[in-house]
Amino acid sequence: MNQQNNNMNQAQELSDQELAFDLLYQEKALLTNIASEVLEASQPGMRQVLNDCYMSIGQDQLEIFNQMQQQGWYPVKAAQAQDVQTAKQKYQNFL
């Protein structure tokens, strides 16, 4: 029975990379959820608290992403200058 429990525990262990991906996706989900709460908060004090939480979680997510990128676990393609300009123009139209 102990051997079976040991095998189950070993099968459940995640690598650092798997843990980092899990944490990153949890942070993304949390950001999505709290963004809705920020938008729906009608009391200014509560809205500020939620907004502060959103910004803090966003910073945590960025730090996780940066660590993963440094480890080579989340490679990204550099954006072309034209793509950056196009995105900038697109979103400036919303302001």
This prediction has a pTM of: 0.71
Give the model confidence (pLDDT) of 71-93 as tens digits. Answer: 999 998 888 999 999 999 988 88
Average pLDDT of the chain to the nearest whole number: 89
Give the per-residue SS3 of the chain: CHHHHHHHHHHHCCCHHHHHHHHHHHHHHHHHHHHHHHHHCCCHHHHHHHHHHHHHHHHHHHHHHHHHHHHCCCCCCCCCHHHHHHHHHHHHCCC
